A and B are shown apart, each in its own frame.
Chain A
Protein backbone atom coordinates (compact mmCIF):
# COMPACT_ATOMS: atom_id res chain seq x y z
CA UNK A 1 0.00 0.00 0.00
CA UNK A 2 1.19 3.51 -0.84
CA UNK A 3 0.18 6.73 0.90
CA UNK A 4 1.57 10.07 2.12
CA UNK A 5 2.35 10.78 5.75
CA UNK A 6 0.05 13.54 7.09
CA UNK A 7 2.00 14.53 10.18
CA UNK A 8 3.91 17.49 8.72
CA UNK A 9 4.36 19.43 5.45
CA UNK A 10 7.18 17.06 4.47
CA UNK A 11 4.54 14.55 3.31
CA UNK A 12 6.90 11.58 3.13
CA UNK A 13 5.74 9.06 0.53
CA UNK A 14 5.17 5.81 2.43
CA UNK A 15 5.10 2.26 1.11
CA UNK A 16 3.72 -0.33 3.49
CA UNK A 17 4.06 -4.05 2.90
CA UNK A 18 3.30 -7.18 4.91
CA UNK A 19 5.19 -10.46 4.78
CA UNK A 20 4.61 -13.40 7.15
CA UNK A 21 2.60 -11.11 9.45
CA UNK A 22 5.45 -8.58 9.67
CA UNK A 23 4.56 -5.05 8.57
CA UNK A 24 7.30 -3.02 6.91
CA UNK A 25 7.05 0.74 6.31
CA UNK A 26 9.41 2.35 3.81
CA UNK A 27 9.94 6.03 3.05
CA UNK A 28 9.37 7.53 6.49
CA UNK A 29 11.90 9.94 8.01
CA UNK A 30 10.72 10.07 11.63
CA UNK A 31 9.00 7.93 14.26
CA UNK A 32 5.64 9.63 13.68
CA UNK A 33 5.79 8.54 10.04
CA UNK A 34 6.50 4.96 11.00
CA UNK A 35 3.59 4.86 13.46
CA UNK A 36 1.28 6.51 10.96
CA UNK A 37 2.24 4.00 8.26
CA UNK A 38 1.47 1.05 10.53
CA UNK A 39 -1.89 2.41 11.70
CA UNK A 40 -2.98 3.41 8.17
CA UNK A 41 -2.16 -0.13 7.02
CA UNK A 42 -3.64 -2.08 9.90
CA UNK A 43 -6.70 -0.05 10.92
CA UNK A 44 -7.29 3.26 9.12
CA UNK A 45 -10.10 5.26 10.78
CA UNK A 46 -11.85 8.54 9.97
CA UNK A 47 -14.31 10.84 11.71
CA UNK A 48 -17.34 11.18 9.42
CA UNK A 49 -19.11 14.55 9.24
CA UNK A 50 -22.23 15.12 7.19
CA UNK A 51 -25.75 16.62 7.31
CA UNK A 52 -28.90 15.09 8.73
CA UNK A 53 -32.48 16.02 7.94
CA UNK A 54 -34.47 17.60 10.74
CA UNK A 55 -38.13 16.99 11.56
CA UNK A 56 -39.06 20.45 10.19
CA UNK A 57 -37.43 19.83 6.80
CA UNK A 58 -34.10 21.56 7.44
CA UNK A 59 -30.61 20.14 7.91
CA UNK A 60 -28.19 20.07 10.81
CA UNK A 61 -24.53 19.04 10.80
CA UNK A 62 -23.62 15.78 12.57
CA UNK A 63 -20.46 13.75 13.23
CA UNK A 64 -19.41 10.36 14.47
CA UNK A 65 -18.39 10.76 18.12
CA UNK A 66 -15.21 8.82 17.35
CA UNK A 67 -13.46 7.75 14.17
CA UNK A 68 -14.94 4.75 12.35
CA UNK A 69 -13.14 2.31 10.05
CA UNK A 70 -12.35 4.07 6.77
CA UNK A 71 -13.97 1.33 4.67
CA UNK A 72 -17.28 1.76 6.56
CA UNK A 73 -17.64 5.53 5.90
CA UNK A 74 -20.24 5.12 3.15
CA UNK A 75 -22.21 2.56 5.19
CA UNK A 76 -22.37 5.11 7.99
CA UNK A 77 -23.50 7.82 5.57
CA UNK A 78 -26.22 5.55 4.16
CA UNK A 79 -27.53 4.89 7.65
CA UNK A 80 -27.45 8.60 8.56
CA UNK A 81 -29.59 9.38 5.46
CA UNK A 82 -32.42 7.32 7.02
CA UNK A 83 -32.36 9.22 10.33
CA UNK A 84 -34.16 12.43 11.28
CA UNK A 85 -32.93 14.80 13.98
CA UNK A 86 -35.42 16.66 16.18
CA UNK A 87 -35.87 20.23 14.87
CA UNK A 88 -34.80 21.62 18.24
CA UNK A 89 -31.77 19.32 18.67
CA UNK A 90 -28.93 21.22 20.30
CA UNK A 91 -25.20 20.73 19.86
CA UNK A 92 -24.19 17.48 21.57
CA UNK A 93 -27.57 15.76 21.07
CA UNK A 94 -27.05 12.05 20.28
CA UNK A 95 -29.35 11.03 17.43
CA UNK A 96 -28.17 7.43 17.19
CA UNK A 97 -26.15 5.36 19.64
CA UNK A 98 -23.45 2.94 18.43
CA UNK A 99 -24.15 3.32 14.72
CA UNK A 100 -23.86 -0.01 12.85
CA UNK A 101 -22.27 -1.41 16.03
CA UNK A 102 -19.07 0.48 15.20
CA UNK A 103 -18.78 2.00 18.68
CA UNK A 104 -19.50 5.58 17.55
CA UNK A 105 -22.57 7.70 18.28
CA UNK A 106 -24.05 10.19 15.80
CA UNK A 107 -23.93 13.60 17.45
CA UNK A 108 -25.44 16.94 16.36
CA UNK A 109 -22.64 19.51 15.96
CA UNK A 110 -24.49 22.69 15.00
CA UNK A 111 -27.78 24.55 15.04
CA UNK A 112 -29.83 25.49 11.98
CA UNK A 113 -29.34 29.12 10.97
CA UNK A 114 -32.14 31.36 12.29
CA UNK A 115 -34.28 32.75 9.50
CA UNK A 116 -33.11 36.30 8.68
CA UNK A 117 -36.62 37.78 8.88
CA UNK A 118 -37.70 36.11 12.11
Chain B
Protein backbone atom coordinates (compact mmCIF):
# COMPACT_ATOMS: atom_id res chain seq x y z
CA UNK B 1 0.00 0.00 0.00
CA UNK B 2 1.45 3.36 -1.07
CA UNK B 3 1.87 5.73 1.86
CA UNK B 4 1.76 9.52 1.89
CA UNK B 5 1.96 11.91 4.79
CA UNK B 6 -0.97 13.95 3.49
CA UNK B 7 -3.58 13.00 0.89
CA UNK B 8 -5.64 15.93 -0.39
CA UNK B 9 -8.95 15.04 -2.05
CA UNK B 10 -9.76 17.68 -4.66
CA UNK B 11 -7.45 19.79 -6.83
CA UNK B 12 -9.37 23.08 -6.93
CA UNK B 13 -8.33 26.23 -5.10
CA UNK B 14 -8.78 24.58 -1.68
CA UNK B 15 -6.86 21.42 -2.54
CA UNK B 16 -3.98 23.27 -4.22
CA UNK B 17 -3.52 25.69 -1.31
CA UNK B 18 -3.73 22.87 1.24
CA UNK B 19 -1.19 20.76 -0.71
CA UNK B 20 1.26 23.68 -0.96
CA UNK B 21 0.99 24.42 2.75
CA UNK B 22 1.50 20.75 3.64
CA UNK B 23 4.49 20.52 1.28
CA UNK B 24 6.03 23.61 2.86
CA UNK B 25 5.95 21.76 6.20
CA UNK B 26 7.99 18.93 4.66
CA UNK B 27 5.18 16.42 4.13
CA UNK B 28 4.98 13.92 1.25
CA UNK B 29 1.73 14.99 -0.41
CA UNK B 30 -0.70 13.52 -2.96
CA UNK B 31 -3.56 15.45 -4.61
CA UNK B 32 -6.44 13.40 -6.06
CA UNK B 33 -8.40 15.30 -8.74
CA UNK B 34 -11.29 13.84 -10.73
CA UNK B 35 -11.12 16.36 -13.60
CA UNK B 36 -8.52 16.20 -16.37
CA UNK B 37 -6.68 19.21 -14.92
CA UNK B 38 -6.17 21.12 -11.69
CA UNK B 39 -8.04 24.32 -10.88
CA UNK B 40 -11.57 23.11 -10.23
CA UNK B 41 -14.38 25.57 -10.88
CA UNK B 42 -11.89 28.45 -11.26
CA UNK B 43 -11.21 27.20 -14.80
CA UNK B 44 -14.73 28.13 -15.89
CA UNK B 45 -14.86 31.45 -14.00
CA UNK B 46 -13.29 33.53 -16.76
CA UNK B 47 -14.51 36.84 -15.30
CA UNK B 48 -12.21 39.10 -13.30
CA UNK B 49 -12.43 39.80 -9.58
CA UNK B 50 -10.32 37.05 -8.01
CA UNK B 51 -7.21 37.59 -5.93
CA UNK B 52 -7.72 41.16 -4.73
CA UNK B 53 -7.06 40.05 -1.15
CA UNK B 54 -4.66 37.15 -1.70
CA UNK B 55 -2.48 38.53 -4.50
CA UNK B 56 -3.34 42.24 -4.19
CA UNK B 57 -4.38 42.35 -7.84
CA UNK B 58 -7.44 41.49 -9.87
CA UNK B 59 -7.22 38.20 -11.75
CA UNK B 60 -9.62 35.98 -13.69
CA UNK B 61 -10.39 32.50 -12.34
CA UNK B 62 -8.05 30.57 -14.67
CA UNK B 63 -5.22 33.01 -13.88
CA UNK B 64 -5.79 32.58 -10.14
CA UNK B 65 -5.69 28.78 -10.55
CA UNK B 66 -2.59 29.00 -12.74
CA UNK B 67 -0.63 30.84 -10.03
CA UNK B 68 -1.20 27.91 -7.66
CA UNK B 69 -0.61 25.30 -10.34
CA UNK B 70 2.78 26.84 -11.19
CA UNK B 71 3.72 26.85 -7.49
CA UNK B 72 2.69 23.20 -7.20
CA UNK B 73 4.79 22.25 -10.23
CA UNK B 74 7.88 23.45 -8.36
CA UNK B 75 7.23 21.12 -5.42
CA UNK B 76 7.37 17.37 -4.98
CA UNK B 77 3.57 17.16 -4.60
CA UNK B 78 2.20 14.23 -6.61
CA UNK B 79 -1.01 14.87 -8.57
CA UNK B 80 -3.38 12.14 -9.82
CA UNK B 81 -5.72 13.47 -12.53
CA UNK B 82 -8.92 11.81 -13.76
CA UNK B 83 -8.93 10.02 -10.42
CA UNK B 84 -11.92 9.58 -8.13
CA UNK B 85 -11.57 9.13 -4.37
CA UNK B 86 -14.21 6.56 -3.41
CA UNK B 87 -13.88 6.43 0.34
CA UNK B 88 -12.02 7.75 3.34
CA UNK B 89 -11.59 5.03 5.93
CA UNK B 90 -10.29 4.84 9.46
CA UNK B 91 -6.56 5.33 9.98
CA UNK B 92 -6.20 7.46 6.84
CA UNK B 93 -7.01 4.82 4.24
CA UNK B 94 -8.19 6.33 0.95
CA UNK B 95 -9.59 4.19 -1.88
CA UNK B 96 -9.11 5.78 -5.28
CA UNK B 97 -10.06 4.81 -8.83
CA UNK B 98 -7.81 6.11 -11.60
CA UNK B 99 -7.21 5.40 -15.31
CA UNK B 100 -3.53 4.53 -14.73
CA UNK B 101 -3.74 2.41 -11.62
CA UNK B 102 -7.30 1.15 -11.45
CA UNK B 103 -8.61 0.60 -7.94
CA UNK B 104 -5.90 1.53 -5.43
CA UNK B 105 -5.76 1.56 -1.66
CA UNK B 106 -3.64 4.41 -0.34
CA UNK B 107 -2.63 5.29 3.19
CA UNK B 108 -2.06 8.72 4.64
CA UNK B 109 -0.94 10.16 7.95
CA UNK B 110 -3.61 12.83 7.46
CA UNK B 111 -6.35 13.47 4.91
CA UNK B 112 -7.54 16.89 3.71
CA UNK B 113 -11.06 17.05 2.29
CA UNK B 114 -11.19 19.70 -0.44
CA UNK B 115 -13.96 18.48 -2.75
CA UNK B 116 -15.80 21.77 -3.10
CA UNK B 117 -19.55 22.08 -3.49
CA UNK B 118 -22.20 21.45 -6.10
CA UNK B 119 -25.25 23.36 -7.20
CA UNK B 120 -28.83 22.83 -6.15
CA UNK B 121 -30.85 21.67 -9.15
CA UNK B 122 -34.37 22.01 -10.55
CA UNK B 123 -35.25 18.86 -8.60
CA UNK B 124 -33.88 20.29 -5.38
CA UNK B 125 -36.27 23.25 -5.58
CA UNK B 126 -39.19 21.14 -6.85
CA UNK B 127 -39.55 23.26 -9.98
CA UNK B 128 -43.09 22.81 -11.35
CA UNK B 129 -44.15 22.34 -14.97
CA UNK B 130 -42.81 20.34 -17.90
CA UNK B 131 -39.29 18.93 -18.14
CA UNK B 132 -38.02 20.60 -21.30
CA UNK B 133 -34.53 21.06 -22.67
CA UNK B 134 -33.16 24.48 -21.71
CA UNK B 135 -33.03 24.28 -17.91
CA UNK B 136 -29.51 24.41 -16.51
CA UNK B 137 -27.82 25.26 -13.27
CA UNK B 138 -25.90 28.50 -13.73
CA UNK B 139 -22.56 26.74 -13.18
CA UNK B 140 -23.37 24.08 -15.80
CA UNK B 141 -24.22 26.82 -18.32
CA UNK B 142 -20.99 28.55 -17.34
CA UNK B 143 -18.98 25.41 -18.04
CA UNK B 144 -20.74 24.79 -21.37
CA UNK B 145 -20.14 28.39 -22.43
CA UNK B 146 -16.67 29.14 -21.11
CA UNK B 147 -15.01 25.74 -21.51
CA UNK B 148 -16.94 24.00 -24.29
CA UNK B 149 -17.92 27.10 -26.29
CA UNK B 150 -21.69 26.46 -26.43
CA UNK B 151 -24.39 29.08 -25.83
CA UNK B 152 -27.19 27.28 -23.97
CA UNK B 153 -30.02 29.65 -24.90
CA UNK B 154 -31.07 32.84 -26.72
CA UNK B 155 -33.76 34.26 -24.44
CA UNK B 156 -32.81 33.61 -20.88
CA UNK B 157 -34.40 33.95 -17.44
CA UNK B 158 -32.30 33.49 -14.32
CA UNK B 159 -33.83 32.26 -11.07
CA UNK B 160 -31.79 33.27 -8.01
CA UNK B 161 -29.48 36.22 -7.66
CA UNK B 162 -26.47 34.57 -6.10
CA UNK B 163 -23.16 35.63 -7.58
CA UNK B 164 -23.04 32.82 -10.15
CA UNK B 165 -26.49 33.80 -11.46
CA UNK B 166 -25.47 37.45 -11.75
CA UNK B 167 -22.16 36.58 -13.41
CA UNK B 168 -23.99 34.39 -15.92
CA UNK B 169 -26.46 37.19 -16.70
CA UNK B 170 -23.49 39.23 -17.91
CA UNK B 171 -21.72 36.33 -19.64
CA UNK B 172 -24.82 35.39 -21.64
CA UNK B 173 -25.39 39.04 -22.59
CA UNK B 174 -21.78 39.50 -23.71
CA UNK B 175 -22.00 36.34 -25.83
CA UNK B 176 -25.08 37.57 -27.66
CA UNK B 177 -28.05 36.12 -25.74
CA UNK B 178 -30.87 38.24 -24.35
CA UNK B 179 -31.36 37.98 -20.60
CA UNK B 180 -35.02 38.79 -19.94
CA UNK B 181 -34.81 39.18 -16.18
CA UNK B 182 -33.50 37.82 -12.91
CA UNK B 183 -36.07 36.50 -10.43
CA UNK B 184 -35.18 36.36 -6.73
CA UNK B 185 -37.28 34.74 -4.01
CA UNK B 186 -35.82 36.83 -1.18
CA UNK B 187 -36.34 40.59 -0.77
CA UNK B 188 -32.59 41.07 -1.26
CA UNK B 189 -29.80 39.56 -3.36
CA UNK B 190 -27.35 37.04 -1.94
CA UNK B 191 -24.81 38.40 -4.43
CA UNK B 192 -22.22 41.13 -4.11
CA UNK B 193 -23.34 44.71 -4.79
CA UNK B 194 -20.58 44.96 -7.34
CA UNK B 195 -22.20 42.15 -9.34
CA UNK B 196 -25.67 43.71 -9.11
CA UNK B 197 -24.24 46.87 -10.72
CA UNK B 198 -21.72 45.42 -13.17
CA UNK B 199 -23.70 42.36 -14.29
CA UNK B 200 -27.30 43.66 -14.28
CA UNK B 201 -27.43 47.47 -14.16
CA UNK B 202 -24.71 47.88 -16.79
CA UNK B 203 -26.86 45.94 -19.27
CA UNK B 204 -30.30 47.11 -18.15
CA UNK B 205 -31.32 43.63 -16.95
CA UNK B 206 -34.27 43.90 -14.53
CA UNK B 207 -34.42 42.01 -11.23
CA UNK B 208 -37.67 41.10 -9.45
CA UNK B 209 -37.17 40.62 -5.72
CA UNK B 210 -39.71 38.59 -3.69
CA UNK B 211 -40.74 36.71 -6.84
CA UNK B 212 -40.38 33.11 -7.94
CA UNK B 213 -40.88 30.89 -10.98
CA UNK B 214 -44.21 29.09 -10.64
CA UNK B 215 -43.90 26.70 -13.61
CA UNK B 216 -42.08 26.15 -16.86
CA UNK B 217 -43.81 25.27 -20.13
CA UNK B 218 -42.74 23.68 -23.40
CA UNK B 219 -41.86 20.24 -24.69
CA UNK B 220 -39.33 19.11 -25.81
CA UNK B 221 -37.73 22.61 -25.72
CA UNK B 222 -38.62 25.23 -23.17
CA UNK B 223 -41.05 27.84 -24.53
CA UNK B 224 -41.48 30.06 -21.53
CA UNK B 225 -42.23 30.26 -17.86
CA UNK B 226 -44.72 31.72 -15.40
CA UNK B 227 -43.55 33.74 -12.41
CA UNK B 228 -45.31 35.48 -9.56
CA UNK B 229 -44.66 37.61 -6.50
CA UNK B 230 -44.47 35.78 -3.15
CA UNK B 231 -46.22 36.68 0.08
CA UNK B 232 -44.55 37.08 3.48
CA UNK B 233 -44.40 33.26 3.83
CA UNK B 234 -42.64 33.05 0.44
CA UNK B 235 -45.73 31.42 -1.10
CA UNK B 236 -46.42 32.54 -4.69
CA UNK B 237 -49.48 34.75 -5.21
CA UNK B 238 -50.86 32.87 -8.23
CA UNK B 239 -53.48 35.51 -9.06
CA UNK B 240 -50.59 37.78 -10.08
CA UNK B 241 -48.81 35.17 -12.22
CA UNK B 242 -47.19 36.49 -15.43
CA UNK B 243 -45.75 34.72 -18.49
CA UNK B 244 -42.35 35.29 -20.11
CA UNK B 245 -41.46 33.61 -23.40
CA UNK B 246 -37.92 32.21 -23.13
CA UNK B 247 -35.93 29.18 -24.25
CA UNK B 248 -33.65 28.86 -21.26
CA UNK B 249 -33.84 29.02 -17.46
CA UNK B 250 -30.66 29.23 -15.42
CA UNK B 251 -30.80 28.28 -11.75
CA UNK B 252 -28.63 29.99 -9.16
CA UNK B 253 -30.42 28.66 -6.11
CA UNK B 254 -27.72 27.64 -3.71
CA UNK B 255 -24.65 25.47 -3.25
CA UNK B 256 -24.21 22.33 -1.17
CA UNK B 257 -20.84 21.03 0.07
CA UNK B 258 -20.12 17.75 -1.72
CA UNK B 259 -19.58 15.51 1.31
CA UNK B 260 -21.12 12.27 -0.01
CA UNK B 261 -17.80 10.47 0.43
CA UNK B 262 -18.17 10.90 4.20
CA UNK B 263 -21.34 8.85 4.60
CA UNK B 264 -20.56 5.88 6.80
CA UNK B 265 -17.68 7.67 8.54
CA UNK B 266 -17.73 9.10 12.06
CA UNK B 267 -17.20 12.64 10.75
CA UNK B 268 -19.90 14.87 12.22
CA UNK B 269 -21.50 17.23 9.73
CA UNK B 270 -23.10 20.55 10.67
CA UNK B 271 -26.80 20.75 9.87
CA UNK B 272 -26.37 24.42 9.03
CA UNK B 273 -23.30 24.42 6.77
CA UNK B 274 -23.66 20.80 5.49
CA UNK B 275 -19.90 20.66 5.96
CA UNK B 276 -17.88 18.98 8.70
CA UNK B 277 -17.69 20.41 12.19
CA UNK B 278 -14.09 21.47 12.72
CA UNK B 279 -11.65 22.96 15.22
CA UNK B 280 -9.42 25.97 14.54
CA UNK B 281 -7.00 23.76 12.56
CA UNK B 282 -9.95 22.69 10.39
CA UNK B 283 -9.71 19.16 11.81
CA UNK B 284 -13.01 17.28 11.72
CA UNK B 285 -14.35 15.15 14.58
CA UNK B 286 -12.20 12.27 13.25
CA UNK B 287 -8.56 12.88 14.21
CA UNK B 288 -6.29 13.25 11.19
CA UNK B 289 -9.09 14.21 8.77
CA UNK B 290 -9.22 17.91 7.86
CA UNK B 291 -11.66 19.90 5.74
CA UNK B 292 -11.35 23.24 3.94
CA UNK B 293 -12.84 25.41 1.21
CA UNK B 294 -16.37 25.02 -0.12
CA UNK B 295 -16.70 21.44 1.10
CA UNK B 296 -16.46 22.84 4.62
CA UNK B 297 -18.73 25.85 4.14
CA UNK B 298 -19.62 27.82 1.04
CA UNK B 299 -17.39 30.89 0.65
CA UNK B 300 -18.01 34.08 -1.32
CA UNK B 301 -14.35 34.80 -2.11
CA UNK B 302 -11.74 32.31 -3.34
CA UNK B 303 -9.13 34.36 -1.48
CA UNK B 304 -10.74 33.17 1.77
CA UNK B 305 -10.72 29.58 0.48
CA UNK B 306 -6.96 29.76 -0.13
CA UNK B 307 -6.34 31.21 3.32
CA UNK B 308 -8.49 28.62 5.09
CA UNK B 309 -6.96 25.75 3.11
CA UNK B 310 -3.44 26.81 4.06
CA UNK B 311 -4.48 26.46 7.71
CA UNK B 312 -5.86 22.97 7.03
CA UNK B 313 -2.91 21.84 4.89
CA UNK B 314 -0.26 23.01 7.36
CA UNK B 315 -2.13 21.44 10.29
CA UNK B 316 -2.56 18.16 8.37
CA UNK B 317 1.19 18.03 7.71
CA UNK B 318 1.95 18.75 11.39
CA UNK B 319 -0.46 16.00 12.42
CA UNK B 320 1.05 13.47 10.02
CA UNK B 321 4.66 14.28 10.89
CA UNK B 322 4.47 15.11 14.60
CA UNK B 323 1.09 13.91 15.88
CA UNK B 324 -1.78 15.85 17.40
CA UNK B 325 -0.88 19.41 18.45
CA UNK B 326 -0.10 20.10 22.09
CA UNK B 327 -2.93 22.01 23.76
CA UNK B 328 -3.87 22.79 27.36
CA UNK B 329 -6.43 19.99 27.12
CA UNK B 330 -9.48 22.23 27.09
CA UNK B 331 -11.89 22.35 24.15
CA UNK B 332 -14.47 25.11 23.96
CA UNK B 333 -17.54 25.16 21.75
CA UNK B 334 -18.29 28.14 19.52
CA UNK B 335 -22.02 28.81 19.40
CA UNK B 336 -24.22 31.43 17.80
CA UNK B 337 -26.84 33.77 19.18
CA UNK B 338 -29.31 36.21 17.70
CA UNK B 339 -28.84 37.14 14.05
CA UNK B 340 -26.02 34.67 13.32
CA UNK B 341 -26.63 31.62 11.14
CA UNK B 342 -23.37 29.83 11.79
CA UNK B 343 -19.87 30.39 13.10
CA UNK B 344 -16.78 28.42 12.18
CA UNK B 345 -14.70 26.75 13.60
CA UNK B 346 -17.32 25.09 15.80
CA UNK B 347 -14.79 24.33 18.54
CA UNK B 348 -11.45 25.76 19.64
CA UNK B 349 -8.66 24.42 21.82
CA UNK B 350 -7.46 26.33 24.84
CA UNK B 351 -3.95 27.70 24.68
CA UNK B 352 -2.03 30.71 23.42
CA UNK B 353 -2.16 32.85 20.33
CA UNK B 354 -5.07 34.23 18.36
CA UNK B 355 -7.94 32.44 16.66
CA UNK B 356 -10.06 33.65 13.75
CA UNK B 357 -13.78 32.97 13.81
CA UNK B 358 -15.75 33.31 10.58
CA UNK B 359 -19.51 33.74 10.63
CA UNK B 360 -22.54 34.53 8.51
CA UNK B 361 -25.62 36.45 9.57
CA UNK B 362 -29.14 35.13 8.95
CA UNK B 363 -30.49 38.33 7.40
CA UNK B 364 -29.51 41.86 6.37
CA UNK B 365 -29.12 44.06 9.47
CA UNK B 366 -28.25 47.74 9.54
CA UNK B 367 -26.66 49.64 12.42
CA UNK B 368 -26.02 46.58 14.56
CA UNK B 369 -23.22 45.45 16.83
CA UNK B 370 -21.27 42.21 16.48
CA UNK B 371 -20.51 40.68 19.87
CA UNK B 372 -18.39 37.67 20.86
CA UNK B 373 -18.78 36.69 24.49
CA UNK B 374 -17.66 34.00 26.89
CA UNK B 375 -19.26 33.34 30.28
CA UNK B 376 -21.06 36.70 30.23
CA UNK B 377 -17.85 38.61 29.38
CA UNK B 378 -17.57 40.49 26.10
CA UNK B 379 -14.40 39.29 24.31
CA UNK B 380 -14.87 41.41 21.22
CA UNK B 381 -17.45 43.81 19.86
CA UNK B 382 -17.75 46.15 16.95
CA UNK B 383 -20.49 48.38 15.54
CA UNK B 384 -21.39 47.71 11.92
CA UNK B 385 -23.35 49.88 9.51
CA UNK B 386 -24.50 46.76 7.71
CA UNK B 387 -24.07 43.00 7.74
CA UNK B 388 -25.53 40.65 5.11
CA UNK B 389 -25.73 36.86 4.68
CA UNK B 390 -23.86 37.11 1.38
CA UNK B 391 -20.69 38.49 2.96
CA UNK B 392 -18.73 36.32 5.37
CA UNK B 393 -17.61 38.15 8.51
CA UNK B 394 -14.48 37.57 10.56
CA UNK B 395 -13.49 38.28 14.15
CA UNK B 396 -10.18 37.57 15.85
CA UNK B 397 -10.01 36.44 19.48
CA UNK B 398 -7.10 36.00 21.88
CA UNK B 399 -7.15 32.39 23.10
CA UNK B 400 -6.00 33.41 26.59
CA UNK B 401 -9.32 35.25 27.08
CA UNK B 402 -11.34 32.11 26.45
CA UNK B 403 -12.30 29.83 29.34
CA UNK B 404 -15.69 28.52 28.24
CA UNK B 405 -18.17 28.37 25.37
CA UNK B 406 -17.85 31.33 23.01
CA UNK B 407 -21.03 32.85 21.57
CA UNK B 408 -21.15 35.07 18.50
CA UNK B 409 -24.28 37.20 18.18
CA UNK B 410 -25.63 40.49 16.95
CA UNK B 411 -27.14 43.29 18.99
CA UNK B 412 -29.83 44.59 16.68
Contacts and interface: CB of A to CB of B under 8 A. Distances in A.
B196 interface: yes
A115 B385 CA distance: 50
Interface string A29-68: 1000000000000000011111100000011010100000
Contact of B46 (A6, A8, A109): A109
Nearest to A50: B174
Interface string A87-115: 00001000000000000000001110111
Contact of B36 (A5, A9, A63, A116): A116
Contacts of B387: 9
Given A5-B193, A51-B146, A51-B175, A113 B43 contact: yes
A109 B62 contact: yes
Interface residues of A, number: 31
Nearest to A30: B385
A83 interface: no
A11 interface: yes
A98 B292 CA distance: 41
Contacts of B60: 49, 61, 63, 109-110
A30 to B, nearest CB: 8
Contacts of A10: 193, 366, 385-386
Contact of A3 (B43, B82, B197): B197
Contacts of A48: 174
B36 A58 contact: no
Contact of A63 (B48, B66, B146): B48
Interface string B40-59: 00010011100000000010
B37 interface: yes
A84 interface: no
A114 to B, nearest CB: 5
Contacts of B260: none
B202 A70 contact: yes
B197 A9 contact: no
Contacts of A110: 43, 46, 60-63, 66
B325 interface: no
14 contacts: A3-B197, A4-B193, A4-B196, A6-B192, A9-B364, A10-B366, A10-B385, A46-B198, A47-B48, A50-B175, A51-B46, A63-B60, A91-B66, A109-B62
3 tightest A-B contacts by CB? A110-B62, A61-B46, A6-B194
Interface of A: 3-11, 29, 46-51, 58-59, 61, 63, 70, 73, 77, 91, 109-111, 113-116
Given A9-B386, A48-B174, A63-B46, 16 more contacts: A6-B197, A9-B364, A9-B391, A10-B385, A51-B149, A51-B175, A58-B149, A59-B146, A63-B48, A63-B60, A73-B174, A91-B62, A110-B46, A111-B62, A114-B36, A116-B82
